[in-house]
Amino acid sequence: MKFREFALFLEKLDSISARNDITQVLADLINASTVGEIDKVLYLAQGTLAPNYRGIVFNVAEKMMIEVISDSYKIDTKEVKEEFKVRGDLGLVSFAHADKHGSDISVDALYQTLVAIANDEGEGSQERKIKELSKILLTLDPVSAKYFTRIPVGKLRLGFSDKTILDALSMALVGDKSLKKKIETVYEYLPDIGLIAKRIKADGIDTTIETINPEVGMPIMPMLAQRLNSPDEMIEKMGEIAVEPKFDGVRVLIHFAKNKDGEKPYVRAFTRNLNDVSPMFPELQKLGEYLNADSVILDSEGVGIDPKTEKIVDFQKTMQRRRKKEIGKASEDIPFRFQLFDIIYVDGKSLMREEYEKRREVLSEVIKKNKLFVVDDYTVTDEAEVIRSLHEKLLSEGLEGVVVKKLHADYVPGRTGWRWVKMKEVEGTTGKLPDTVDCVVMGYTRGKGKRADFGIGQFLAGIKDKEKFKSITKVGTGLTDEQLQTLSKRLEKLVVKERPVEYAEVHTDLVPDFWVRPDVVVELAGDDLTVSTKHKAGYALRFPRLVRFRDDKDVAQTTTIGEVKKLFSLQKTRFLDKFDYV
């Protein structure tokens, strides 16, 4: 496929907003692509070069792209900046100056060049990137130039996600969405939309499903817990269960393989949103010392430890490691421990279809007793009272309560069925909302009085509803000076002139002074949820409080409309329980 043809598909996608229309155009794009190029086509259509876990990023800011446009079209940078101010989009600036004819460069060739540019590091790399990008830009027709300019600076944003592409794959194969469930099964094992499309296009969906298995180095979508706060209902829905402690840490999926040549082992750590955070955990290099296996994929909760008290530190303290440049020193300041609670692969064999009890048995056999990689305790029961007593005990010990897991359940990625359930009370919210809500920050309003110094007074927060984020609350009270400073620094880098396409319309009373790109995820507590006509989510989180920044979560993993509905239902049940009406 020529890039000019690809750009016309992007033009179509840019002009529509209805999900069904977007899905059909993507299906047409998939059908028009060959097996050899389909992965590159889909990566570029999402404005990326690869999925998160591969760590290939553009690192091209608008300032650099201004230099690219200036160099390509021989225009003074001041003129480019002035045009940018008027048009509000560097893509439109390129569109205005591009040659009407352009070249016939292919998507594959352009993609390979972009990967080489992204991987160029070291002294003089910025200048080289500008030169290479400007060379490509100069050869493109106006429509191609517009979208090529937007891609490296992260401004493509056509309003669809991986989930829409999964629907489009089904449409491309059979003309409807009947294969969606099968394709989603592949995605859970292989969360790489380009690679999935390549395999399905080459081998078909059934062969792809039959041959898909966990692989060391290929992150798997983690299994997630549902919400239930009634132990009696847990037993009713799940039968015999295992009760585990819930730690206030960061989810870490550990991939390990010994190197037979005597070199360092292959070790990778992935977060729940599939980002590679291996540098954050140098301790992982010691894992081989405590294994009775050559290769494993482990599921764990990483917790920071106070070196003086030997107690677990809070989540925000733990996450400081991620922002520190001197990881060695950070390891001394915040020692780490991995609480292992599952194993999904060992020595070439997948354990995902084994029952919980079998997986825990294997985990105990594989891990040698040590203080760095600790296998969680668990209690098997079919009595609600055991869940209650363990929950209260663990809360009193400073943990987050319990996670309840169905004893005879396999490992299923995502939040499906009643296999895992979390029972978590937010400290100080007894009788209030039974759990927290993870929201994306959509925009913010200027501060007044003392907060004028911070540049932010309150922010608008939203939750996910399919492809859109819908507002659910405004947060202004209960923010510390430190939180305001952190928010201000992070959000000012994300400001955009117009409401991002990912956001549903916002009531006029709620429109912020500044819109920001969907990037920052925050965990909010609240007194309760009420039905709302102002907030597009249909509910409002009342008396919201910022619990913490969730840097371990991607915006795609924010709380969904469906989950909020369940929370609203749980809230009503708790109210009735309190007054003995049921």
Looking at the annotation, which residues are catalytic? 246
Cα 354 to Cα 145, 215, 218, 242, 360: the distances in Å are 51, 17, 20, 15, 10
Q: In terms of DSSP bridges, do strands 521-525 and 514-516 run parallel, antiparallel, or are they unpaired? A: unpaired
Residue pair 105/170 in contact by the 8 Å Cβ criterion: no
CA distance 453 to 466: 37
Looking up tokens 């209805």, which residue turns up? 18
CA distance 529 to 539: 6
Cα 192 to Cα 7, 43, 187, 411: the distances in Å are 22, 9, 7, 19
Residue pair 237/405 in contact by the 8 Å Cβ criterion: no
How buried is 403 (Cβ within 10 angstroms: 0-12 exposed, 13-18 middle, 19+ buried)? buried
Q: How many other CB atoms are there within 10 angstroms of residue 58's CB atom?
A: 20
Residue pair 170/20 in contact by the 8 Å Cβ criterion: no
How buried is 548 (Cβ within 10 angstroms: 0-12 exposed, 13-18 middle, 19+ buried)? middle
Token reading at 106 = 């292919």
CA distance 58 to 250: 27
Query: What angle do helix axes 62-73 and 125-138 make, rounded to 10 degrees?
Result: 50
CA-closest candidate to residue 173, choices 19, 30, 13, 21? 30
CA-closest candidate to residue 570, choices 228, 232, 237? 228
Using CA atoms in the order 207, 51, 35, 115, what is the torsion angle rounded to 10 degrees?
-150
Cα 330 to Cα 48, 321, 550: the distances in Å are 31, 6, 19
